Structure 1
Amino acid sequence: MSLWTAIYEQVRSRRWLLPLVLAMTAGLSALGALKLRFTEDVFELLPQNDPTVVEGRLALARFRALERIVIDVEAHDTAAVVAGIDQLAAQLARTPGISKVTSRLSDDALVDIAQAYEGKIPLLFDEAMEADVERRTTSAEFTRRLQEFVDSAEGKGGIQATTAQFRRDPFAFQELMLRRFDRLNSGFEARLVRGHLISHDGRHGLLIAEASVPASNTREGRRLMAEIDGLISRLPDGTRARVIGGHRSAADNADVIESDIKLTVATSVLGVLAVFLLAFRSLWPFAATLCAVGLGFGVAMGAQGATVGTLSAITAGFGAALLGIAVDYTIHLATAVSAAPAGSAADRVRHALAHVAWPNGMAMITTALALSTLWASRFAGISQLAEIAVVGVLFAFLFAMLLGPVLLAPFARRPARSNPLEAGVRLAVRSRRRWPRLPLVACALATPLLALGLMHLSIDGDVTHLDGKSQSTREAEEVVAATYGGATLRRTLIVSSGPDLETALLANDNVARGLRAVSAARFESLAWVLPARQTQQANLARWRAYWTVERIETLKQRMAGVRVVRHTDQGERPVSFTRERVETYFAEFFATLTPQGELPHLDASSLRGRPLWDLMRNFVAESDGQVSVATLAMLSDPSESEPGSPAAVTLEGRRLAELKAHAPAALALNRTLFASHIVQLVRADLFLLGGLSLLLVIVVLWLSFGSVADVLTALIPVGGAMAWTLGLMGWLGISFNIINTLVTVLIAGLGIDYGIFVVQTYRDSSSAQDANSRVIKAATGISAAALTTLFGFGSLALAAHPALFSVGITTTLGVLSALLLSVVVVPGVMERRLFSAGSDHV
């Protein structure tokens, strides 16, 4: 008597034993599961000790101000845009869930900037300002400004400068300094019109709202987006608005996932029920399968809660998907029961246990070993997946072998009857035996052709491509990117931190120097207008060193040599200055070039309470006793290389490395480089995990079969299905990503299970006729298991969400490939190996 038959006899004689075991297991699992805390942070899936991942995660954690709601208002002219912005801003300020709205730089702020920065140009005189001053203090520039001043005095337009302003600042150094505030557009290329951020064409304007709820709170986020959409609908005719940001993306994802779940769950349930009814004409096998897999998953969740306590929600979802492998154990048991000789229900169950215990156990061991290799993954989410999947598969197998025989007893009482699925399998087997070489030749020819698609297979490491944003949101992002700079949404985030604002600003100044040194295309930073006190002192020293007696004398001579024209009733009259007149007329200006004593510094702490701080606050964040200052930089220009191309990756990687050499303490997150790094990690994981799992499976199969030929034959569904699936993905243009990579484990697990069952069926057969009868039953069970998986997880191919679709289409290709190879190729190979031509004997 086998082990499982003996256990079955004990369960039959002690009817209280199984309910007690199940109750204790369910109770302990529930206690553990209650301790489980689910996380939604995508970074939880990534390698936790990888420097690039750690740095990117810290950068986002320290600067949460990037989680904002950005609204683009479009109208036919600037006046209508401004009116639309003001209307939305007033309504958003009263909307629950919105903590702050930034729609314009107030008049008070503009006046405040002019007052606070009056005469402060020496404190901002860095290398970039020195170059600007050098370009501005030329004879040609002074000629232009003098002519504008003369024309304005005559009412001919121009700069409309007053005499006092011109005498105090003939080269408009104050304007040069105030233009630096244009570099605080938080990544958006725009101009200030009446304090509003307006696009260069005047037809778009921005307002930025900060929510009091995080984007990860999808329930509140969806409510907030609905409120904002309602406000937008009340804009005047001809004015429209677009909303982008984390909250919009999260709401879109929630909407599309909810819709996909309704569709795929309905398809899955109906499809699986149809398969069970076709294969068994009874719902008892369905109930047994559901209980075994459900209890296995429950134990896995309970063990995770008791031992670790946290789990990524995404990992849990894919853990449940991988447990789809475990449905095979109960299905094969039910198939064996239906194929058992006539007799009592207990006898038929015993017969089934005797026939499937060994292949079921082998399938479970090989699958568990293959899944255990996921522990070697660099990705934390995949390592967690190993813990869930291995425990789940093990206990699903145990429950299938313990609970399955009991729940299948009513099914065993029914006489064996043919079913449509078995009839279809019988027809396929008959056709294969009639033309034995045809399927083998067809598959042999198809495999290299499909494998050529591997040359076209790509790995997409950009997690944003798995975002389920709606088409309207994607179009809105494209409009914003095109309107406010093509690389607006592709900036590099660089975060400098310290225990106080002054320390953080000093580190931020170091980043700005590094960006200039590496020739970054452009960047927005507080370093332009609010350097640290130490940097201001260095700038002042540079100003004094720049304006030497010789340089000032040269400038005076240059100004004295300028001639412009004044228009009078008597005609044009020349206007010029003598050397002495230059010195007396512009005495106040020359005094600013050589300031005496110490200038009052720009004090960051005192600016916080002033109106101008509204323009700076988006660059500063405080949390956990740390003050962080952000810089948004374009490391390369689209004219230098195509964004996202290998050339762009190389260029930005080199510049970021050079920047880190200048500012090693800064944290940086570059989307292009981050995606490229993830691609490298995924590629390395594929080879590592694939090699380990294949090695372990081969060892176990060898120990079990003791025959190289049997081992290789059992591996045909694994190797063939992987080659076919990956090749088809390449031909169809479906990329590998961090999500559908996990499906390869599912395909490998299913393939090895199917291969073991077919090979073991032939090993247990005494003749070709016996093998033919047995393989029909085995292939029926394999077909039922494959169709169940196909409907259960392949139905995700109907989903609109990119991540779910990628899983669904990959699963569909893999399961169909493994099924075809298992029921067509493996039997053909085994028959040619074991039975000589025209002989029925082994």
Structure 2
Amino acid sequence: MRLTAILLVIASLFALACFALSRASNDLAEMLPAGDVQLAREARFFATQAATRVLVLEATAEPADLIAAGDFLTAALPRLAAVGARLPDAGTPAAVAKAAAVAYERLPELLSAEDLAAAGKHLEPAALAERLAALKARAAQPDDLLTVTAARQDILALAGGVLGRIESGPGGSRRAGAVFIHPDGRHVMLNLEVAFDPGELDRSEPLYQRCSELRAEAAAQRIDLAMIGPYRHYVENIRTVRSDLWVTLPIELALVAGLLLSLLGSVRSVLAIHVPAILAVTGSLAGAGAWIAASGGVLPLPLLGFIAGILGIAVDYATHYTVGLRRGHPPIRPLVVTFLTTASAFAVLLASSSPALRCLSIMVVTGLGCALVSTLVILPALLNERARPDRWRWLSVPLAATIEGHPRICLGLAAAMSVALLPGLAWLHFEGDLKRFDGSTRQAWKDLDAFMVRWGPPDSSSFIVAHAADRDAALAAVAQARRTLNLPPSQVERLLPDAQERAVRRAAWNAFWRDHADVADRLAAACASAGLRPAAFSQAIARYQPIADRDAGAVDWSGTPIEPALAMLVFRTGAAERGHPSGNAVWTVASPLTGVDRKTAAGLAQRLADQAPDSPAWIANRGDLGGRLIDVVRRELSAHGLFMVAAMLVLVLLLERSLIRGAAVLLPPLLAIGWSFGLLGWLGVPLSPFALLGIAFVLGIGIDSAVFLAHERGSAALSPILNASFTTIAGFGSMALAVHPVVAGMGLTLSLGMTAALFTSLLIAPALARRSAE
């Protein structure tokens, strides 16, 4: 009956864990405090943009080989289509013709009063005659019939700004079939649409492999081919992580297994102590699943990294219990004290306004709770232990004699280390550049940077953004914000005027052509001078007339080459942004701020807030998003940090009934965090958000070690403490050899933290515990 109950509980935990994993999300907005609407909407905006399914192939060749490079890219289209990347429909000849038809049909609403005023200069007799003479010369060239045909409909080229976007590309390039040719004569670009998100690695990797094959083939033809876009970065990130695991994991497993086996001396015991660890991980995820079911939230993917800490603490619990069982005195009370101390600290985070921190609180408490229960209930049934000598007596006995025999020297050494390392905290800073968390190859970033410089400035990092249930309302808010800031209109305002702006432009169009009602006579005179027939331009003359003041609705660029460019800037999301009262879909309009850096964007945001405090528009800047995200987490942890320490202090004092013994338990892990982060500060190593994993892990193992050293004298508790510390240092130290900056950073932080936790526990806990006993 007892076994059946245990199996039912485990099955329930496993089901909840699976539910939690099914609700895992990397949406930063879901992890931020509920009150920070501005940061949440900015994080979601950039997350939506990052999901754009665009891939670019850039070919570099000598001028003599440039046509061959373009032909190579065009010939590769069928092979790329087989792995999900194809030429957008908007790039076909039919799409180009449709864009021209839209431009001519909606011309009065695509031109501002300033555009018309500039066009008025071309109606002067001399300017018009010169234009017609040039047109006659071009008409004699058979390969330029498109220009002549366009001139018949629009001799003043009023639609030239719009149609120019069809035939031209980024960086002043020109379209040549499926590709764009850069003005420098050495680069060709192929812009592709991909049928899946970059995160679908089972499909992104074959696409990456196909591009690699094409690169090798192109090199044989003296063409350098570069893959640009998120698909390359996603695949190279995961490949870097895999490579790091293949290098570091065997080292880590060999060291950990060897250390545990050297202490326990039995393969069965080594396997048995991992059962509570597995159940701890399952219980941690199950707790998250229960919280998600109750709150309707999600499981933030970064929190899965904390599972490593829970796993290590669970192994620590089981190791202490196994060694104690061999001595005939299982350390039940120290284990309970350790659990309650750590759990009380993380329980404080339940009061946080951040969903991520509340979820973390539940995960730690339930995970360590399962670790404790399974250690006390299940582990004894798996072990076949009898009294055995301590296999690490050669180290623990002399070390215990040293630290217990010289408490003053130990405390003095701890004080000296604190004086040397803690001031480094003043120099500690967080890494705010999200690029530094990327594991792509250096060549990937080099190619991307060169591409951005060559094809245009990286002007997609800052935007004026507005959300609204109606697209016209969002467009109007953005346009008004630009006027408030005295900024010229962007392509969004030019190509997608809102309803009010459309009315203004129609009025300007009608006023202009009433003032130039003699356009037919002027054109006839110029045609006579150039030797052309005025009837050839009847379509243009009919177009250059006042129109009925009737709104035909928003300009529709769907199915044209302009649509992909606008799709990243004007889009509809399926659910309202956090902070919007409605749960319906909303429109997002983002107007690019070209060449605006982080500092300038902050100044524009302040100006907009001062001059138009009620404006629904806001400034989004990708450059400082990482720093602001870190600041939010830091503020949340700072706000609750003192309460976490207070909760641990109260609990330890209630359990120990001694201030000195309470200090023996709490001071080592807190100083360990201070020492390790102080050293990082002195070394100038910036902290990443993943350093928070180190805090949790060091806190848990540090409390563990301090409790056992405070409660037990001699070498009895020292051997498992040394073993747990060495296995952790060895495991995470091997991660410091990784290439991926996040993996290497975690390895460095955790190995330093665990080394500091071992030293603080050895130097402080026995000395203070002895003083309390005296």
Query: Shorter-chain TM-score: what band?
Result: 0.7 to 0.9
Matching of residues 699-778 of structure 1 within 5 Å: 699-761=650-712, 774-778=713-717
The residue type paired with residue 250 of structure 2 is A
- 2:213 is matched with which residue? 230
Report if aligned partners of 2:90, 2:563 keep a CA contact under 8 Å in 1: no
User: Is the Cα–Cα contact under 8 Å of residues 90 and 562 in structure 2 kept in the other structure?
Assistant: no
- Over the matched positions of the two proteins, sequence identity in percent amounts to 21
In 2, the alpha carbon distance for the partners of 1:107 and 1:406 equals 75
Name the counterpart of 2:41: 55
Residue aligning to 1:191 = 173
For residues 675-732 of structure 1, the C-alpha deviation after alignment (integer angstroms, 9 at most, x for no partner) is 2431221121221232221011110111122222222233221221111121122233
Alpha-carbon shift at residue 398 of structure 1 (Å): 1.7
Q: RMSD value over aligned CA atoms? A: 4.5
Give, in whole Å, the separation in 2 of the partners of 1:606 and 1:132. 21
Matched, 1:596 2:535: no
Cα distance in structure 2, aligned partners of 1:495 and 1:233 = 45
SS in 2 for 1:243: strand
1:179 & 1:658 partners in 2: Cα distance? 38
Q: State whether structure 2 residue 635 is matched by structure 1 residue 651.
A: no
- Paired with 1:333 and 1:611, the residues of 2 have a C-alpha distance of 68
CA distance in 1, matches of 2:291, 2:587: 38
> Partner residue of 1:528?
494
Q: C-alpha distance in 1, partners of 2:50/2:660?
A: 59
Q: Deviations over 1:607-626 (max 9, x none)?
A: 64668767766666567598
Cα deviation for residue 595 of structure 1 reads: 2.5
Conserved 8 A contact 2:664-2:764: no
Helix, strand or coil for the counterpart of 1:71?
strand
Secondary structure at the aligned position of 2:752 is classed as: helix
Equivalent residue for 1:250, pick from 221, 224, 234: 234
2:436 corresponds to which residue? 465
Kindly state the Cα deviation for residue 752 of structure 1 after the two structures are TM-superposed: 2.1
Q: Please report how far the alpha carbon of residue 368 of structure 1 lies from its aligned counterpart in structure 2 after TM superposition.
A: 1.0
2:332 to 316, 335, 357: 357
Match status 1:694 vs 2:645:
yes
Task: Assess, with a 3 A threshold, how the Cα gap between structure 1 residues 176 and 308 changes in structure 2: closer, same or farther.
Answer: closer
**Superposition pairs for residues 22-171 of structure 1, below 5 Å?**
22-43=6-27, 46-47=31-32, 49=34, 50-56=36-42, 59=45, 66-77=52-63, 78-93=66-81, 95-98=82-85, 100-102=86-88, 105-118=91-104, 121-126=107-112, 130-134=113-117
- With the length of structure 1 as denominator, give the TM-score of the two structures: 0.76
| Cα contact 2:432–2:624 (8 A) shared by 1 | no
**How do 1:167-316 and structure 2 match up within 5 A?**
172-176=157-161, 178-179=163-164, 188-194=170-176, 196-235=179-218, 237-305=221-289, 308=292, 311-316=299-304
Question: Does structure 1 retain, via aligned residues, the 8 Å contact 2:59–2:223?
Answer: yes
Q: TM-score, normalised by structure 2?
A: 0.82
Task: Give the AA of the match of 2:427.
Answer: H
**C-alpha displacement of 1:396:** 0.8
Secondary structure at the aligned position of 2:716 is classed as helix
Q: Which residue identity lines up with residue 41 of structure 2 in the other structure?
A: E
Change (3 A) 1:300 1:154: closer
Which one of 511, 514, 522 corresponds to residue 478 of structure 2? 511
Q: Distance in 1 between matches of 2:60 and 2:75?
A: 13
Q: Which position in structure 1 is the counterpart of 2:579?
A: none
Contact 1:67/1:245 (8 A) holds in 2: no
- Is 2:773 the counterpart of 1:798? no
Q: What SS is found at the alignment partner of 1:237?
A: coil
1 CA distance for matches of 2:498 and 2:605?
Answer: 28
Counterparts in 2 of 1:658 and 1:798: CA distance versus 1, 3 Å:
farther
Distance in 2 (CA, whole Å) between partners of 1:659 and 1:794 is 53
1:107-131 CA distances to partner (integer Å, 9 max, x unpaired)? Answer: 55545544543485432233xxx34
Which is worse superposed, 608-617 or 806-815? 608-617
Contact 1:461 1:738 in 2 (8 A): no
Please state whether the residue corresponding to 2:87 is helix, strand or coil. Answer: strand
TM-fit CA distance, 1:134 = 4.5
For 1:780, the equivalent position in structure 2 comes to 719
- Change in 2 beyond 3 A, CA 1:599/1:287: same
1:479 to 430, 450, 456: 450
Please tell me whether the aligned partners of residues 102 and 556 of structure 2 are also in contact (alpha carbons under 8 angstroms). Answer: no
Q: CA contact under 8 A between 1:112 and 1:612: conserved in structure 2?
A: no
Q: Are 1:62 and 1:622, in contact at CA under 8 Å, matched by a contact in 2?
A: no
Distance 2:187 2:464 in 1: 25
Q: Counterparts of 2:398 and 2:373 in 1: how far apart (Å)?
A: 34
Deviations 1:541-598 (A, max 9, x none): 133446775x999x99xx9xxxxxxxxxxxxxxx999xxxxxx99x999978973342
| CA–CA separation in structure 1 for the residues paired with 2:488 and 2:701 | 51
What amino acid does structure 2 have at the position aligned with 1:670? Answer: N
5+ residue gaps in structure 1? 1-15, 341-347, 560-574, 578-583, 762-773, 836-841
CA change 1:680–1:304 in 2 (3 A) is: closer
Question: How many positions carry a matched residue from both structures?
Answer: 747
Structure 2 CA distance for aligned equivalents of residues 76 and 632 of structure 1: 38
Give the SS at the match of 2:199.
coil
C-alpha distance in 2, partners of 1:706/1:535? 75
For 1:119 and 1:36, locate their aligned partners in 2 and report how far apart those are by CA, in whole Å. Answer: 53
Residues in 2 aligned to 1:809 and 1:84: alpha-carbon distance in whole angstroms: 46
The 8 Å contact of residues 288 and 400 in structure 1, kept in 2 or not, is answered as no
Letter in 2 for 1:737: S
Q: Report SS of the residue matched to 1:69.
A: strand
Structure 2 residues not aligned, in runs of 5+: 528-533, 576-583
In the other structure, the counterpart of 2:581 is: none
Equivalents in 1 of 2:495, 2:114: separation in Å?
16
Checking the alignment, whether the CA contact within 8 Å between 2:21 and 2:299 is kept in structure 1 is yes
Cα deviation code 1:40-65 (max 9, x no counterpart): 53116622634135424654687787
Q: Which residue of 1 aligns with 2:531?
A: none
Counterpart selection for 1:827 from 758, 766, 772: 766
1:385-400 residue pairs with structure 2 within 5 A?
385-400=360-375
1:275 CA displacement: 1.5
What is aligned with 1:345? none
| 2:773 counterpart of 1:815 | no
- Counterpart contact for 2:507–2:549, Cα < 8 Å: no
Q: 1:496 deviation in Å?
A: 5.4
Change (3 A) 1:518 1:760: same
Amino acid at match of 1:746: F
AA of the residue aligned to 1:68? V
Is the CA contact (8 Å cut-off) linking 1:369 and 1:693 kept in structure 2?
yes
Cα distance in 2 for partners of 1:451, 1:258 equals 36
Aligned CA distance change for structure 1 residues 661 and 605 (closer, same or farther; 3 Å): same
Amino acid at match of 1:175: G
Shift of 1:523: 4.0
With 479-488 and 19-28 compared, the bigger mean Cα shift is at 19-28
Alpha-carbon distance in 2 for matches of 1:51, 1:318: 27
Which residue does the alignment assign to 1:571?
none
